[in-house]
Amino acid sequence: MRLTLLLILLSAIGYSQNTIDDDIASIESQLIEWRRHFHQFPELSNREFNTAKKIAEHLRSLGIEVTTGVAKTGVVGILKGDSPGKVVALRADIDALPVKERNDFHFKSEVVSEFLGVETGVMHACGHDTHTAILMAVAEVLSKHKEQLQGTVKFIFQPAEEGPPPGEEGGAKLMIKEGVLDNPKVDVIFGLHINSATPVGTIKYKPQGMMAAVERFVVNIKGKQTHGSQPWSGVDPILIAAKIIDGYQTIISRESKLTDEAAVITVGKITSGVRFNIIPESAELIGTVRTLNPEMKALIIRRMTEMTEGLAKSYGGEATIEFQNNTSITYNDPQLVEQMLPSLQRVAGEDQVKLMKAVTGGEDFSYFQEIVPGFYFYLGGMTPGNKEAFPHHTPDFKIDESGMLLGVKALTQLTLDYLQN
């Protein structure tokens, strides 16, 4: 009798899994259509008004409880299963970048906007359009199987992952501040990022530190203006800027133990002067620090501060440096990774779920992981055999849309397995 009941139970579970697999397979064309829509009509951070409207309309059509205007333009959906249990959060970022697209797709972006006072093209040059479409598809699949959900799923569509405009709050930090991980309280969170250099069908992951903490820094240098023909009568802030930039690199090459973890200091913008024959009064440097180790981060920030002030003084000027934290370390909870790895192997194949090394890119998904255990992984978006993978944040960035369905399978399976276990 017990054996008969067990066989009936296993049969029911198997049938249900087959039904879920069929639902996922049947949604692929809609998944691609959503992605192409978002790609064609991208919106910058904290300005994702139409993106949010489309997401909310879809979630409401599924009978999911929806809250809009979270962290300005974010959307949160809550799907309660037929049985009580824990709460799983799934997150997708929805913002685009100030990049003019150079691809020739029929759905390429022609959107033009303004960023920091400059007219610019707008493009989903990091794959957030795919993340949004994937999570919309997961919501549709799971909404059809509420009877299998032993708990609650919270769908978090997050704006401003690339950072809010200067002077504004936004992104994961603001969502957390507004209580996105509460009511109901989230137990774990899962997220993914499509990757243009990872072959379709492959998932990459790393326990513990996977992506870097990111600091934005601004250096203001004060010199003394003079005629370009008489440098001895002034203090050259451009020269000081050059010495500071050079000095920063010695912190990396001579003071940071790179055999433990990678670290990067990059100056991305220098502003100074108005004319070829005038030594200006001031200069400004803007850049980023990337670290994967808290102790190394503290060392680098301390030494940059000392070096900024000291070098400027040694050349007769003054300088200050300010840091703004953009992301923490994207830290995958080791216990959660171990628990959920079989779910990823189940949908992708054991040989297609691969351990990766840490990278110096940053993700504000990390702020969620500081509050609750999280698991973040890479999803393959490169056509297998393709030898040319354009980097993220570039005008030529592209992904193979056939890789998105695995993302739907992965997030769906992670959710079901976590809640059932």
Q: Which residues are known catalytic residues?
A: 95, 161
- Measure the CA–CA gap between 346 and 186, rounded to whole angstroms: 25
Q: In the 8-state DSSP scheme, what is residue 164?
A: P
Half-sphere exposure (Cβ direction) of 55: Cα atoms closer than 13 Å: 36
Which tokens belong to 393?
């944040």
Amino acid (one-letter) located at 181: L
Half-sphere exposure (Cβ direction) of 350: Cα atoms closer than 13 Å: 1
- Measure the CA–CA gap between 60 and 386, rounded to whole angstroms: 39
What pLDDT score does 145 carry?
94
What pLDDT score does 7 carry?
40
Cβ–Cβ contacts within 10 Å for residue 411, how many?
A: 30
Model-level pTM?
Answer: 0.89
- Measure the CA–CA gap between 51 and 38, rounded to whole angstroms: 7
Q: Using omega within 30 degrees of 0 as the cis cutoff, is the peptide bond preceding 334 cis?
A: no
- For CA atoms 253, 254, 260, 264, the dihedral sign is negative
CATH 3.40.630.10 is right for the domain spanning 2-211+329-420: yes
Angle ∠(151,152,158) on CA atoms, nearest 5: 155
Name 286's Cβ contacts closer than 8 Å, sequence gap at least 6.
Answer: 216, 217, 218, 219, 267, 268, 269, 271
What pLDDT score does 166 carry?
86
Cβ–Cβ contacts within 10 Å for residue 256, how many?
A: 21
Q: Do residues 63 and 166 lie in contact, with contact meaning Cβ atoms separated by under 8 Å?
A: no
CATH 3.40.50.150 is right for the domain spanning 224-316: no
Task: Using DSSP, state whether 398 is helix, strand or coil.
Answer: coil
Which tokens belong to 198?
């990872």
In sequence order, the β-bridge partners of residue 235 are 224
Output the tens digit of pLDDT for each of the chain's 421 residues.
444 444 434 444 444 788 999 999 999 999 999 999 999 999 999 999 999 999 999 999 999 999 999 999 999 999 999 999 999 999 999 999 999 999 999 999 999 999 989 999 999 999 999 999 999 999 999 999 999 899 999 999 999 999 999 899 999 999 999 999 999 999 999 999 999 999 999 999 999 999 999 999 999 999 999 999 999 999 999 999 999 999 999 999 999 999 999 999 999 999 999 999 999 999 999 999 999 998 999 999 999 999 999 999 999 999 999 999 989 999 999 999 999 999 999 999 999 999 999 999 999 999 999 999 999 999 999 998 887 899 999 999 999 999 999 999 999 999 999 999 8
Name 310's Cβ contacts closer than 8 Å, sequence gap at least 6.
Answer: none
- Measure the CA–CA gap between 230 and 236, rounded to whole angstroms: 11
Q: Do residues 411 and 135 lie in contact, with contact meaning Cβ atoms separated by under 8 Å?
A: yes
- Measure the CA–CA gap between 288 and 285, rounded to whole angstroms: 10
- Measure the CA–CA gap between 190 and 192, rounded to whole angstroms: 7
What pLDDT score does 221 carry?
98
What pLDDT score does 387 carry?
78
Name 128's Cβ contacts closer than 8 Å, sequence gap at least 6.
Answer: 38, 92, 93, 94, 95, 96, 161
- Measure the CA–CA gap between 362 and 328, rounded to whole angstroms: 8
List the domain boundaries for the chain: 2-211+329-420, 224-316
